Structure formats: structure tokens, C-alpha cells
């Protein structure tokens, strides 16, 4: 039987895929004719095509690093990672590009489609209506208020502004798809930062100097990323609000938080962000299924899923949950806009960074829920328009 190269001239077919930046487009192109499908159907050819897309597509920017972290984590079976680990820490933190083999490439493709589950929840009418109402992230309140808020089972206060779900219903398929690409990039960026936090606790360091350097860089990846434009920072904040704040809250909001850990009533609230996205999908599934798993069993599962965090408590002087908070993402935006006005930078047109800083906090507290929540991912706005939104609220 002749090989694929003999049957179809791949030199004319494969270059077609190099112009694509979307896995969905590659699948659609493969179905256009028999010759292209035959070439695409080969395992390694398909891996090469997907790998090319992952390398070039902006929304896959964090995938190679995230896969590398997971490979390193799995290689040591969730145990302590020795100082002589095959991946050097300074290479890892300085942007070392992990080589993706075919298996890793297909794992990324699976991740790309699996995380669409969360975006489907984001767009689901019944969930979207509640999410876009006037609720506040838990870090807006003190610890006692956090406990009451998480345990509150009353309906969330409805907005007097025209509901955002009316606007989202009018969006086209292409608009929603572009929104998912932004959703995916923001989600993997935050997931990657979370995995760095776990690695910082798992590594065995040769000396305190290297440990401090690793921890500092890990903290910077969580709360200070000056290379990201303002729109990406807001995307990450929006996705984090939904995935790590809103969804876990709705999974556990039928019972007092101290049911999870009576000795520490804030245990659940302070550690929800330690969940990985697949675990959040698992919890949502347990809550939405026809016969939901009882809450005590959900609490037990929650504790089991973050055992990796607890395994290193007391064994190393490193980062802890107290060093991280979701409110850091708000402060990351604040630090970025505070340094505005520098010529040549994205916000170089801003006259006074201090005014924009005040405007940002006011906008986040008073207008985000009706002007941005549930909408920001569907807009294509540059820095100037985003700044205008903040300043308009400040002037009212």
C-alpha cells in the first residue's frame, strides 16, 4: 500500500495548516476534502499540525509551560521534588520552553475542549443571570462578613440595570468563540500561576538563597505581570471571579463554612482558589447532577483534593496560602495603572496615574458588576477605551 506521501503531496497540503491559529479551524479544514483529511488523519501529522497551532496561537501562550509543570509534578508522584531534579529551577522560571511531544500536544487539545465546559456554564442563561447580578467577591469584606456571605442562601440581589444576559443572547457564534479564546487564555494563565505556587512548596532547595529567589518569582507571577496589557489583566480578573469565586461559592453556599472545618471557619473561603479548574468542574458536576452529592461529602472531597498543599505544611519554610489572595489580581491592575503616563508604554497617554488608580478602585467597587461582569470578554476594547470607562465612573 503506498504511503501517504506517495498518495498525496504533503508539500502542498501541510502549509495550509500553518496559516491557522485555531484548533477548530484545523478540524474544519480537514473535513473539506478527502486528500486533506487523509493527510490530517495520520497520528504524527496531526500532532505536528496541532503543535504548530499551539505554538503560534496567542490563546495557547501558557499551554507549553502549564504542560511542563504538570509533567514535572507527575514525575515525582506528588512527593517532594529533589534539589537535583532534571529541570533546573532558574531555567523553569526564566521562561524555559518545554518540548511538547505528541502525547503532550494531544493532552493540550483535550484541555482546550474540556475547559469549554466552564465557558458553557459562563454563558448558560440561568447561571449568567445570577452571576451578573450585584454580588461582591468575598475579599471585599472582613473575615466575619466572608463567612456570612458564603453561607447566605438567599437569592442574590437583582440589578436595576437591564440584564446582561439579554445582550449576550444577541451575540453570534463567532463572537462567542472569540470570547472563549480569551476565556481560555485567562484561565490557563491563572492556572499556571497556581501551579507555580504548588511547585514552590514541593521543591527541595539546595540553599535559602535559591528558595527565596524561587518564592519571589512565584509571587511575581501571581500578582505582578507588567508584560500583560490591561485588557488581559481584566480578562483574568473576570475569569477568576467566575471560576474561583462564584462557582465554588454556589457549590458550597447551602451550609455554614465551619461545617467544613469547625476549627477554622474561614478554611473553605481562603482555600477555594487552590482548586484546579478540572476539580472545579468536578464539584459543579456533583452539585448539578440529578442526585447531588450531600454537602458533607463535598467538603470531604474538597479537603482530599488539596492534600498536596497540606502535605508540605511544617516541612518547609516557603509560601503558604496566606501569601496569596484573589484580591491580588485587583491590586495587580492597580499597580499597572498607577505607573501609567510613561511615554512608550500602553498607558502612556494617561496624564496622572494616581487619578487612574483612584478611578480603578471606584470602578471595581461600584460599576464593575453592571458594566464589565459577564461582558468584558465579549468586547474588543483597547487601553484607551478601558481607561475611559474607569474615568467616567470616577467623574460621576
- Give the whole-angstrom CA distance, residue 195 versus residue 218: 9
pLDDT, tens digit (0-9, with 9 covering 90-100), for 240-289: 999 998 998 888 765 554 555 556 656 777 788 889 999 999 888 887 77
pLDDT of residue 363: 92
pLDDT of residue 395: 56
198: pLDDT strictly greater than 50: yes
The pLDDT confidence band at residue 394, using thresholds 50, 70 and 90, is low
Q: Is the dihedral of CA 309, 243, 56, 231 positive or negative?
A: negative
Question: In the Cβ-directed half-sphere of 226, how many Cα atoms lie within 13 Å?
Answer: 7
What are the respective helix, strand and coil percentages of the chain, to the nearest 5? 65, 0, 30
- Give the whole-angstrom CA distance, residue 233 versus residue 230: 5
The pLDDT confidence band at residue 348, using thresholds 50, 70 and 90, is confident
Which distant-in-sequence residues (6+ apart) come within 8 Å of 254 by Cβ?
A: 153, 295
**SS3 (DSSP) at 120:** helix
Locate the domains of the chain by residue range.
1-56, 102-321
217: pLDDT strictly greater than 50: yes
* Entry field: residues in the chain: 396
140: pLDDT strictly greater than 80: no
Task: Give the residue with greater pLDDT, 221 vs 21.
Answer: 21
The grid coordinates of residue 379 equal 468586547
Nearest to 213 by CA among 71, 92, 332: 92
φ and ψ at 203, to 5 degrees?
-70, 145
Amino acid at each position: 500500500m503506498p504511503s501517504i506521501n506517495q498518495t498525496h503531496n504533503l508539500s502542498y497540503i501541510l502549509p495550509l495548516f500553518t496559516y491557522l491559529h485555531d484548533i477548530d479551524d484545523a478540524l474544519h479544514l480537514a473535513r473539506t476534502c478527502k486528500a486533506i483529511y487523509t493527510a490530517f488523519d495520520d497520528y504524527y501529522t496531526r500532532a505536528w499540525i496541532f503543535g504548530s497551532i499551539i505554538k503560534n496561537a496567542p490563546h495557547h501562550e501558557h499551554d507549553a509551560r502549564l504542560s511542563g509543570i504538570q509533567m514535572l509534578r507527575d514525575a515525582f508522584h506528588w512527593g517532594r521534588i529533589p534539589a537535583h531534579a532534571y529541570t533546573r529551577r532558574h531555567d523553569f522560571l526564566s521562561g524555559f520552553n518545554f518540548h511538547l511531544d505528541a502525547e503532550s500536544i494531544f493532552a493540550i487539545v483535550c484541555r482546550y475542549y474540556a475547559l469549554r465546559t466552564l465557558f458553557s456554564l459562563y454563558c448558560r442563561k440561568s447561571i449568567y443571570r445570577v452571576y451578573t447580578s450585584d454580588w461582591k467577591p468575598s475579599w471585599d469584606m472582613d473575615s466575619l462578613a466572608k463567612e456570612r456571605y458564603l453561607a447566605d442562601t438567599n437569592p442574590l440581589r437583582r440589578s436595576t440595570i437591564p440584564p446582561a444576559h439579554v445582550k449576550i443572547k444577541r451575540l453570534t457564534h463567532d463572537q462567542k468563540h472569540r470570547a472563549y479564546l480569551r476565556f481560555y487564555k485567562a484561565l490557563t494563565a491563572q492556572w499556571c500561576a497556581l501551579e507555580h505556587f504548588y511547585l514552590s512548596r514541593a521543591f527541595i532547595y539546595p540553599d535559602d538563597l535559591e528558595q527565596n529567589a524561587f518564592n519571589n518569582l512565584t509571587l511575581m507571577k501571581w500578582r505582578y505581570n507588567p508584560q500583560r496589557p490591561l485588557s488581559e489583566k481584566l480578562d483574568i480578573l473576570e475569569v477568576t471571579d467566575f471560576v474561583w469565586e462564584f462557582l465554588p461559592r454556589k457549590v458550597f453556599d447551602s451550609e455554614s463554612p465551619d461545617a467544613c472545618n469547625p476549627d477554622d471557619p474561614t478554611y473553605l473561603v481562603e482555600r477555594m482558589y487552590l482548586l484546579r479548574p478540572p476539580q472545579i468542574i468536578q464539584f459543579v458536576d456533583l452539585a448539578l447532577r440529578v442526585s447531588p452529592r450531600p454537602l458533607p461529602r463535598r467538603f470531604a472531597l474538597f479537603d482530599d483534593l488539596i492534600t498536596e498543599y497540606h502535605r508540605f505544611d511544617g516541612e518547609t519554610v516557603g509560601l503558604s496560602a496566606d501569601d496569596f489572595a484573589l484580591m491580588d489580581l485587583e491590586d495587580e491592575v492597580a499597580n499597572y495603572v498607577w505607573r501609567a503616563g510613561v511615554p512608550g508604554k500602553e498607558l502612556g497617554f494617561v496624564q496622572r496615574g494616581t487619578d487612574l488608580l483612584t478611578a480603578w478602585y471606584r470602578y471595581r467597587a461600584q460599576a464593575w458588576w453592571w458594566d464589565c461582569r459577564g461582558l468584558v470578554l465579549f468586547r474588543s476594547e483597547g487601553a484607551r477605551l478601558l481607561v475611559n470607562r474607569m474615568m467616567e465612573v470616577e467623574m460621576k
